[in-house]
Chain A
Amino acid sequence: MLRELAENPPCIECGLCREVCPVFTILRQERISPRGLAILADRGIASVVFYQCTLCRACRVVCPVGHDPAGEQVRAQVVAQGVETEANRTMIENIRKYGNPFGPLEEGEIPKTLTCC
């Protein structure tokens, strides 16, 4: 179970998170594993790689020290440094302009594609 964190313990790089990450288990590349993202975040690397995290936090559930990937904050920092995917930019623009992530819709229209990060 997830608990509220008084502090976020740093990643100890054990790698036990790899096999619960739904993105890693498909791509099997360290940079998109929770451990890889933690290493990159620790180095202050601004990269579109952070957009590949689903923010599901399965990694935090199995993490032996309870490290939270804090994907939202990391992504906010990345955006602040001007690193953003086209999909993320479009999604935010749609929300600001049309109040939804899909873009302009006719009354009652069901969107055919979901644009997200």
Chain B
Amino acid sequence: MNLASLSALVGEANISTTVEDRIVYSRDASRLEGECLAVVWPSHPEQVAGLVAWAEAEDVDLVPRGAGTGLCGGATPQRSVVVDLSRLTRIGPVDAEQRRVQVEAGVVLGSLNRRLAPHGLFLPVIPGSHRASSVGGMIATDAAGLRAVRYGTMADWVEEVTLVDGLGRWHHLTGEALRDAVGREGVTGFVVEAVLRLAPRPAQRTLSLVAFDDLAALLAQRDRWLADPRLTALEYLNRHAAEAIGWEARPHLLAEFDSDGGEIGDPDRIAALWQARDGLYPVLARRGYPVIEDPQIEGEGMAALLAWLEAEGIPTFGHLGVGIVHPCFSADDERVAALYERVAAEGGRVSGEHGIGLKKKAWTDAAFRAEVQRLKAQYDPHHRINRGKLC
């Protein structure tokens, strides 16, 4: 690799081939290990197009990386140069009237929402990694999260994406074309900037926490709450997950409302319950269940899946309001394959929110792979960006 020409693009201090950098950038939160040849930290979106031209000249491929909180190896390099977008942190002026803001890809959701708070606004897509996740990564994975039942996914909040594709071309995607970038995990190019829509921040939040004796009663309550327009989150814990965080060993539903719909109004109690919920996966990971899945399934299929997970003793939680659940497994648990066979048989999706990355390629169907190949031919025919991801 010609590092001198790379250095001319971004400055010598903003590239690295040290052992330390190559190790820490060889994986993301999925812990799927790859090989990083070098790391680049662009300081401005304009530098990204130059990086793509450099990669073409050097015959190497580039891996976009945000906060590295992805759980499917979407940012794991495979003898690639990692482009860390963490320094693209500019937040444009907040248009409070139109409820929108322009941000660069490396802006962290927590920082953005702190900036928006004085305007009474927020970006309401809240993934579990909200304290660290970057807007670019959230767009790339079409993040959903805790409040998806009310606010949907990133696709519902992105108005425009600025994309640098595999030929170094700039695209300002809007409308239907947004689907070529949102949820595509960087295979069509670098998301470098976006215009986001914003929501008014609710003045009040209340919670309800209910334990159930059987699944049928739980699902009946779920349906009743889904009909409540005040509902903003509907979280599920099976008895194995509830027990792990010290709750009664019964299946639970945790519902959040943007007004007085819930009986828990004390802010400290609400914070404590959300903290326990936020800490679920780390607790399970520490207990020997580090592999977290995210199938999405509705209707009868959901009921059958939850019953199977409970019977198998698999700790599971998730965003039941939108049919996304997170069963957690030990590293070598062969029941992951059985899980996705069940999900496929019931017409569910293999990924509700984490993405496909490297981890779930085997579970995608032919139609999905054909769609990705079509997009790849259109935006990145030489496979310069996030090579080998999705299919």
Contacts and interface: CB of A to CB of B under 8 A. Distances in A.
A59 to B, nearest CB: 11
A1 to B, nearest CB: 13
Contacts, number: 82
A15 B129 contact: yes
A30 B31 contact: no
Given A12-B286, A14-B29, A19-B108, A30 B132 contact: no
B230 interface: no
A45 B26 CA distance: 15
Interface in B64-88: 67-69, 84, 86-87
Given A18-B67, A18-B132, A19-B108, A31 B290 contact: no
A26 to B, nearest CB: 10
B31 A64 contact: no
A13 to B, nearest CB: 5
Contacts of A30: 21, 24-25, 68, 84, 86
A45 B283 CA distance: 28
A19 B87 contact: no
B110 interface: yes
A82 interface: no
B20 A47 contact: yes
A43 B290 contact: no
Interface in A1-22: 9, 12-19
A64 B290 contact: no
A27 B84 CA distance: 12
B69 A43 contact: no
Given A29-B84, A62-B131, A13 B286 contact: no
Contact of B283 (A31, A40, A47, A65): A65
B41 A29 contact: yes
B47 to A, nearest CB: 15
Nearest to A14: B29
A18 B129 CA distance: 11
Nearest to B30: A13
A43 B68 CA distance: 19
Interface in B27-75: 27, 29, 31, 39, 41, 67-69
B271 interface: no
